[in-house]
C-alpha cells in the first residue's frame, strides 16, 4: 500500500498527525460520496469523532449506530459482563434519542461497560445523567478526541463503569472543521504545507474511489 508523507514525516508527531489527517479526509470523502461510514450517522464536521472512535475500538468492541433501540445496547453490555470479556459498547447519542437518559442511568446503576458519546447536535436530554462520569471534549480537535476516547474506553473495559463523552464545538471567530483545525496546527508546527496537504487529500480521495469503484476510467 502506498504511503503519504508530511513535510516532517520523519518526526513521530508529524507521522501520527499525517495519519490522522489522512483518515479524516478519507471519512470526509466517504460522506461526500454518500457511503456509509462504519457506525453510520456521521456528518461533515464529525470526522474527528468518527476517526477517534474507529481508531480506539478493539476488534471485539461493539458500536451501536444512531437510531438503534437502547435495549440493544444495554443487552450487549450485559452480555459482556456475563462473559467477563475485556470489551466495551460504544453508543452514539444523536438528536433522535431523547429517551437516552434512562439508558444512561441503567448503565450507571448496573456499572455496564458502555461508553456513551453525545455527538454535536444532540438534544440535552440525549446525554444527561447527574451521577455518570462525564467529560466535555472539543469535537473539532482530532488529537483531543482520540486521546479522550482511548482513555475512556480503557476505563470502561477495566470495569470502572460507564462513561459519557460530550463532544462540542469550541467557539472560534472563524468556524473550521476538524480537518482544517489539524491542518492549521501542522502548518504552524512546520509539519505540513499546501502541496503536502493536496497530496494527502488526493491519496485519501483515490483510496475512497478505489473502495467504492467510482474512480475515473
Closest Cα to residue 64, out of 27, 37, 39? 39
Distance CA 165, CA 115 (A): 8
Q: Give pLDDT tens digits for 52-102.
A: 988 888 888 888 765 555 566 677 778 877 776 778 888 888 755 556 777
* Residue 184 to residues 17, 72, 127, 137, 216, Cα–Cα distance (Å): 11, 40, 31, 19, 30
- Residue with cell string 513521530: 12
Tens-digit pLDDT profile for residues 160-217: 999 999 988 765 545 679 999 999 999 999 999 999 999 999 999 999 999 888 765 5
Quick check: 100 and 127 in contact, CB under 8 A?
Answer: yes
pTM tops 0.85, yes or no: no
Distances from the Cα of 74 to the Cα of 32, 100, 187, angstroms: 32, 11, 43
May I ask the CATH class of domain 12-212? alpha beta
Amino acid at each position: 500500500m502506498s504511503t503519504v508523507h508530511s513535510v516532517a514525516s520523519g518526526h513521530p508527531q508529524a507521522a501520527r498527525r499525517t495519519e490522522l489527517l489522512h483518515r479524516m479526509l478519507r471519512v470526509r470523502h466517504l460522506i461526500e460520496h454518500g457511503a456509509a461510514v462504519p457506525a453510520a450517522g456521521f456528518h461533515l464536521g464529525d470526522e474527528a469523532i468518527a476517526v477517534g472512535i474507529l481508531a480506539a475500538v478493539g476488534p471485539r468492541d461493539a458500536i451501536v449506530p444512531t437510531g438503534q433501540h437502547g435495549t440493544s445496547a444495554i443487552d450487549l453490555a450485559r452480555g459482556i459482563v456475563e462473559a467477563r470479556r475485556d470489551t466495551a459498547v460504544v453508543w452514539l447519542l444523536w438528536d433522535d434519542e431523547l429517551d437516552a437518559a434512562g439508558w444512561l442511568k441503567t448503565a450507571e446503576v448496573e456499572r455496564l461497560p458502555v461508553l456513551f458519546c453525545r455527538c454535536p447536535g444532540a438534544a440535552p436530554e440525549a446525554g444527561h445523567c447527574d451521577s455518570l462520569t462525564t467529560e466535555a471534549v472539543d469535537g473539532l480537535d482530532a488529537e483531543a478526541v482520540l486521546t479522550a476516547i482511548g482513555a475512556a474506553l480503557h476505563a470502561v473495559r477495566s470495569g470502572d463503569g460507564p462513561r459519557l463523552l460530550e463532544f462540542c464545538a469550541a467557539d472560534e471567530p472563524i468556524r473550521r472543521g476538524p480537518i482544517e483545525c489539524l491542518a492549521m496546527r501542522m502548518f504552524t508546527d512546520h509539519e505540513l504545507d499546501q502541496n503536502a496537504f493536496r497530496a494527502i487529500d488526493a491519496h485519501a480521495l483515490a483510496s475512497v474511489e478505489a473502495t467504492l469503484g467510482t474512480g475515473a476510467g
